[in-house]
Structure 1
Amino acid sequence: MTTEMILTNARLVLEDRILSGSLVVRDGVIAEIDEGKSASGVDMDGDYILPGLVELHTDHLESHYSPRPGVRWNAISAIQSHDAQIASSGITTVFDCLRLGSDEDDGFKMGEMRAIADALAEARSENRLRADHLIHLRCEVSASDVLEHFADFATDGQVRLASLMDHAPGQRQFQTMEQYTLYYKTKRGLSDEAFAHFVQRRQDASARYSDAHRKVLASACAERGITVASHDDATLDHVAEAVGFGVRLAEFPTSIEAAQASHKAGMSVLMGAPNVVRGGSHSGNIAAADLARAGVLDVLSSDYVPFSLIQAPFVLADEIDELDLATAIRLVTSTPAKTVGLDDRGSLTTGKRADLVRVRRDSGIPVVREVWRQGQRVA
């Protein structure tokens, strides 16, 4: 039996403009888009209708699974809690980051990430989830056991994205020791001697493992059709390396030169939506808004605050004269979807999935009023 829903008197955020009109959904797919108010349907009262947001990089699931140091929550319960916050933020497709590669400070044990992935599959099969969940493997290439962790996902079809990361001091995110010291020494209360030992171990591991692990992981992803992301590129050499590995997504470049080179090379440049909302990077690196002004920002990620993904495009449209709202919304919808090959969603286009978000925004922070995934209301 055909199911139909008509949303009318809405501001439809298309890829290139905002249209006052109506949208018809049939059997979970966008069937018609018309200008003007329909004689029938649900009155949206002039609210925006956006495509469902597509989130490529969020660490948020980890904080639900491990809400305190040493605490592990029931995986299904953690997933449902995470999922509810994701959906209520307007996110209908989310790539949940699972961290691969242990260290002595905050890594997860062998098998923990695999267990979360199994719980995600179970939750999906039992129809527990509001959003569409896929997996993003965050591979710490300087970790000695990252390949063993990766092998746990050798046949997992949920994996659609993998990032190659190295958080050793003196490079990439932590090019200077000032931020690294704050992040690892001050927050953890390490003594000078303990911190010096910690830094040396990290640098030695990076020198020993990183290059070889990058090559193995990039090759494995290419064979399986998994999109590869670089992470915290800072120099032109980093970008050249990413190009050689077939990287399609440049996550959080730390310099304007790296961002410009990545964008020119055809990679989608991703920055954090919290960076936009806060007005700058918490790590002291470049501001996402500056990349938007330079025309080299392609994708936003909520990273550690899910609601920032719906808030940030409105902030950019307010603050940057050259960036209208329809263009800003592409940063969280169509461009991330295209980057990872999800061609069935990400825009208000006939034939695409009816992943929709109703947003009221007169001024200030937007309000998510309703969310649909494939035509079914989920929030």
Structure 2
Amino acid sequence: MRALHLTGAEVLREGRLAPGGIAVAGGRLIDTPPADARRVDLTGYRVLPGIVDAHGDGFERHLAPRRGALADLGAGLAAAEAELAANGITTAVLAQFWSWEGGMRSPDFARRVLAALDAFDAGGTDLRAQLRLETHMLDDYAAVEEAVAAHGVGYLVFNDHLPHARLAEGRKPPRLTGQALKSGRSPEAHLALMQRLSARGPEVPAALDALAARLGARGVTLGSHDDRTAGDRAAWRARGVTVAEFPETRAAAEAAAAAGDPVVMGAPNVVRGGSHDGKVAAEALVAEGLVTALASDYHFPALRQAALRLAPRIGLARAWAAISERPASMLGLDDRGRLAPGLRADFVVTDAAGRIGATFAAGIPRYMAGPVAARFLA
């Protein structure tokens, strides 16, 4: 693409919003625009770093618009990328289950998603996979390692969604029939599977120790999901599982932050003003400096919305860093998340109210609309 010189805007860099401009060439931000650069006047607008989403499963509805109606996965990823771009997200970690729950969360579907991602050209937007492994699927550990190696998966999170207490009491879990239908099993077969997996609990800690060590040796970033206590976090940290993803309590979040572990919280939690199911509220944790990064979780627009909600309280620079610079750093992506010469030209153009007019990923326009588009087309 022809080099760009964007002038007249307020630009968020080095921790402050100030009048200035940016220059883009070869997919990177540069110091000085070449003489033939296309000049675009963005007076009245803001240029902010592209959003980095450290965990999102909102793409599932694009891959399967209805239960059982699985679209072509490439077409589904294209639709997901379009929504990501419209919401200013230039790097997205797609959180794919590897779970006993079956259906779109099954190991077979995870393999399909990974293969589709390998084959998909996102046109500049960086789509990456995170595997969410259910800890009690011990017989799948080897297959997970094979998938990680074959597809270059750089981020894996450990989950345990088995209803152990109800199973131990001999009671049926809630929503059993619905879960069974999604998995393609009868309720009886689905319950029996959960019971078998739960019964293997005593084997899990040692197996996790070994698996985490092997994955860590590969350089895979490891996280735990829904830590409830400081003890939970300490146990995961001892395995080299450093990221605390969506801790459920203040105690778990404080323990992670005190040890220097990255803490990821859901942006929808901030937008809603609290957790939808009674867990710790994210907004206060962000304000207190306990949160490294916000993630879209199940709703891509929530990242931008959360930053705008937080800005009056903690400042736009700090709020935006929670959805750009800090998640990028956590993921080891030091070439993005900020606006500085030499970095990827990942940025969004917004009006003063935060509405997105354009999204560029690696210098390529991925979304453009309204008056901002008119400036570029003039």
**TM-score category (smaller protein):** 0.7 to 0.9
Give secondary structure in 2 for the equivalent of 1:45: coil
Q: Distance in 2 between matches of 1:69 and 1:214?
A: 32
Q: Which of the numbers 335, 338, 343 marks the counterpart of 1:352?
A: 343
- Matched with 1:335 is 326
- Residue in structure 2 matched with residue 100 of structure 1 by the alignment: 98
How much does 1:181 deviate?
A: 7.0
For residues 252-331 of structure 1, the aligned pairs below 5 Å read: 252-318=246-312, 320=313, 323-331=314-322
Report the counterpart of residue 241 of structure 1 in structure 2. 235
- 1:296 is paired with a residue of what secondary structure? coil
Identify the match of residue 44 of structure 1 among 42, 55, 79: 42
Residue identity (%): 32
Pair 66,146 (structure 1): closer, same or farther in 2 beyond 3 Å: farther
**Shift in Å at residue 269 of structure 1?**
0.8
Over 3 Å counting, the alpha-carbon distance change for 1:67 and 1:147 in structure 2 is farther
Name the structure where helix makes up a greater proportion of residues. Answer: 2
CA distance in 2: counterparts of 1:218 and 1:234, whole angstroms: 20
> Does structure 2 retain, via aligned residues, the 8 Å contact 1:236–1:258?
yes
* Structure 1 residue 110, shift from structure 2 partner: 3.7
* Residue type at the aligned position of 2:59: L
Report the counterpart of residue 4 of structure 1 in structure 2: 3
Q: Using the TM superposition, give the Cα deviation of residue 46 of structure 1 relative to its aligned residue in structure 2, in angstroms.
A: 2.2
| Residues 167-202 of structure 1 deviation map (CA, whole Å, 9 limit, x = unaligned) | 23369xx9xx9xx977x4697699xx98xx689728
Partner of 2:364: 376
- Inter-partner Cα distance in structure 2 for 1:202 and 1:317: 48
Q: 1:271 to 1:15 in 2, by over 3 A?
A: farther
Change (3 A) 1:149 1:89: farther
| Amino acid in structure 1 at the alignment position of 2:365 | R
CA contact (8 A) 1:60 1:305 kept: yes
May I ask how many residue pairs the two structures share in their alignment?
A: 354
Q: Amino acid of the residue matched to residue 58 of structure 1? A: G
Deviation by residue 1:116-166 (Cα, 9 ceiling, x = unmatched)? 211111112xxx545111111111112344415413414235411110111
Instruction: Tell me the equivalent position of 1:37.
Output: none
CA-based RMSD: 3.0
Find the counterpart in structure 2 of residue 82 from structure 1: 80
1:22 touches 1:33 (CA, 8 Å); kept in 2?
A: no
Q: How does 1:160-239 map to 2 (within 5 A)?
A: 160-169=154-163, 184=175, 201=195, 204-205=198-199, 207-239=201-233
State the shift of 1:205 in Å: 4.4
Distance in 2 between residues matched to 1:333 and 1:247, nearest whole Å: 22
Q: Conserved in 2, the CA contact under 8 Å of 1:99 and 1:138? A: yes
Decide whether the 8 Å contact of 1:248 with 1:339 is kept in 2. Answer: no
Q: Distance in 2 between matches of 1:325 and 1:99?
A: 33
Aligned residue for 1:378, secondary structure, equals: strand
Q: Distance in 2 between matches of 1:257 and 1:144?
A: 29
Note if contact 2:52-2:91 (Cα within 8 Å) is conserved in structure 1.
yes
Q: What's 1:22 paired with?
A: 21
Gaps of 5+ in 1: 35-39
The answer as to whether partners of 1:101 and 1:146 remain within 8 angstroms in 2 is: no
Shift of the 313–109 alpha-carbon distance from structure 1 to 2, 3 Å rule, reads closer
Q: Do structure 1's residue 120 and structure 2's residue 117 form an aligned pair?
A: yes
Q: Structure 2 vs 1, CA of residues 63 and 206 (structure 1 numbering), >3 Å: closer, same or farther?
A: farther
Tell me how far apart the structure 2 counterparts of residues 282 and 33 of structure 1 sit (CA, whole Å): 48
The answer as to whether partners of 1:247 and 1:267 remain within 8 angstroms in 2 is no
Q: Distance in 1 between matches of 2:176 and 2:148?
A: 36
Unaligned runs of 5+ in 2: 182-186, 368-378
Deviation at 1:214, TM superposition (A): 2.4
- Alpha carbons of structure 1 residues 285 and 350: separation in structure 2 relative to 1, 3 Å: same
Question: In 1, distance between residues paired with 2:211 and 2:262?
Answer: 20
Corresponding residue number in structure 2 for 1:73: 71
CA distance in structure 2 between the partners assigned to 1:269 and 1:288 by the alignment? 11
**CA–CA distance in structure 2, aligned partners of residues 84 and 119 of structure 1:** 16
- Distance, in Å, in 2 between the alignment partners of 1:244 and 1:266 is 13
2:51 and 2:260 map into 1 onto residues whose CA distance is 22
1:361 matched residue in structure 2: 352
SS of equivalent residue, structure 2 residue 8: strand
Structure 1 residue ranges (4+ consecutive) displaced by more than 3 angstroms after TM superposition: 105-110, 184-190, 197-200
Within 1, Cα distance between the matches of 2:105 and 2:223?
A: 21
Match of 1:135 among 126, 129, 148: 129
| Residue identity in the other structure for 2:99 | G
